[in-house]
Amino acid sequence: MLAFTNANLIDGTGSAPVAGTTVLLEGKEIAVVGSGASAPAAPDDATVIDLKGKTLMPGLIDSHAHLGGRDYPPGLDSAKNSFEYAPMRDFALAAGVTSIRSCGDFLDDTLSTRDKINDGSLRGPRLICSGKSFQKKDAHPSRTVWGNDPETCENAGAFPDSPAQARELVRELVAAGVDYIKIIVADSFIFIYPEYIEPLADDVLEAIIDEAHKLGTWVMCHVDSAPDAIKLVRMGADEINHLISMGIAELPDEAAYDELFRLMVEKGTWFVPTITVVRTYNHIIVEKGAPATIDDYFIPHYRKAYEAGVRMGCGCDSGAPAVLWGPSLHAELKEYVYNLGMPALEAIKCATQNNAIILGIDDKVGTIKEGMLADILIVDGDPSKRIDDLDAVSMVLKEGSIVVDNMLS
């Protein structure tokens, strides 16, 4: 048994921290959590770690990542070329990210890596995978960031030409073992600004969402524009990511955003804005003269979504060039606090409990409570008061095992 004492507990639910907390681990799970008079005594045979006021919290979850990101040549890396996504696995764990959702990568490679992590033969964060992403041929990302790389398009793209083919591809992916379905509805991109790209047809989109839901599968949508997002929310999409495209040429009417956020609140649709990737490429937006830049357009609309009460997760498009797994999620949380006006505890909840709900793993991780898997991040300081303290990682545990130790060694 492993016992942590004198912890400042942030449990991931948004509740205020509790000082002087003891957390006992039994195998892979959290066995007992208590403080003050209810603090449990550590058994005689337990290994006791006195945290001396350090903060103990759930391992972070990144809800939007790409495992095989590379700078050049265009496309995505295979598991073979990246030693089974070793950079992602190492950087994520080092930053306390114990679960990651792959939002479009090589199908067989990501599922194989996921399963090896689950059976303990690979060290890495828990993976939730879409495998291939549904998209229009010769559009984004196949034409843009993938550069029409044949290997990437074959292994990471699903390109339905009709509703019937869309349904068949959904069934194939679910049968292969994907955890959810991802759709890309992109009509613009900064790489080819100001060119417009025709997105997937409405009847194809409806077929994908309907078939996925018939099979009990979550549907996440990469969406560029508010009008497209309204359409997808009405079709029943469970989640919207990005929303405002890098490279948007014509700004939508503000009423479209008001309608979208009202509809998302009404239907309980989740939103992951991925601010960090937009900020990373904002210099290109400025250089090309696109009208929507990070601080004068993106941030105000993301803030509007938050203030409207839209349910939010947290992801950063990590794996995109210059958007590093792990530290970029810390950067995303700082954007939430400093630029969206979100209290630090609420931002942390977005990257723990909320993301666990989005990924369908909230019965296992995302909160610190008895019976949950012991995915734990320990940091110096108190990120509920200063979100930057997330950077001071002392220790990371995945399912009760210490995978990063900057404190005891």
Tokens coding 409: 């060694």
> Which pLDDT belongs to residue 187?
81
Q: What percent of the chain has pLDDT over 90?
A: 89
> Residue 72 — very low, low, confident or very high, per pLDDT cuts 50/70/90?
low
Q: What's the CA gap between 237 and 208, in Å, rounded?
A: 10
**pLDDT surpasses 70 at 408:** no
Q: What's the CA gap between 400 and 29, in Å, rounded?
A: 6
**What average pLDDT does this structure show over 72-86?**
89
Which residues, including other chains, have CB under 8 Å from residue 95's CB and lie 6 or more apart?
60, 325, 326, 327, 329, 330, 393
Cβ atoms 124, 117 nearer than 8 A: yes
Let me know the angle formed at the C-alpha of 77 by 76 and 78, rounded to the nearest 5 degrees: 120
> Residue 30 — very low, low, confident or very high, per pLDDT cuts 50/70/90?
very high
> Which pLDDT belongs to residue 118?
98
pLDDT, averaged across the chain? 96
Q: What's the CA gap between 59 and 55, in Å, rounded?
A: 12
Question: Is residue 299 helix, strand or coil?
Answer: helix
- Name which of 182-186, 299-303, 405-409 the model is least confident about: 405-409
Tokens coding 219: 């549907």
Residue located via tokens 């337990």: 46
> Which pLDDT belongs to residue 88?
97
> Which pLDDT belongs to residue 254?
95
Alpha helix (H) ranges present in 24-147? 86-94, 107-118
**What average pLDDT does this structure show over 190-202?**
89
Residue located via tokens 């409990």: 353
Cβ atoms 257, 221 nearer than 8 A: no
3-state SS string for 205-219: HHHHHHHHHHCCCCE
Taking alpha carbons only, the member of 38, 26, 37, 29 closest to residue 2 is 26
**pLDDT surpasses 90 at 71:** no
Taking alpha carbons only, the member of 375, 372, 409 closest to residue 394 is 409
Q: What percent of the chain has pLDDT over 70?
A: 99
> Which pLDDT belongs to residue 73?
65
Residue located via tokens 């690979």: 122
> Which pLDDT belongs to residue 92?
98
User: Can you say how many angstroms the Cα of residue 7 is from the centroid of all Cα atoms in its chain?
Assistant: 27
DSSP 320: B
**What average pLDDT does this structure show over 374-387?**
98
pLDDT digits (tens, 9 = 90+) for 297-340: 999 999 999 999 999 999 999 999 899 999 999 999 999 999 99
Ordered by where they begin, the domains of the chain are: 2-58+366-405 (2.30.40.10), 70-75+131-355 (3.20.20.140)
> Which pLDDT belongs to residue 244?
85
Question: Is residue 335 helix, strand or coil?
Answer: helix
- Give the largest Cα separation in the chain, rounded: 68
Q: What's the CA gap between 209 and 167, in Å, rounded?
A: 9
> Which pLDDT belongs to residue 198?
87
Taking alpha carbons only, the member of 154, 99, 150, 152 closest to residue 129 is 99
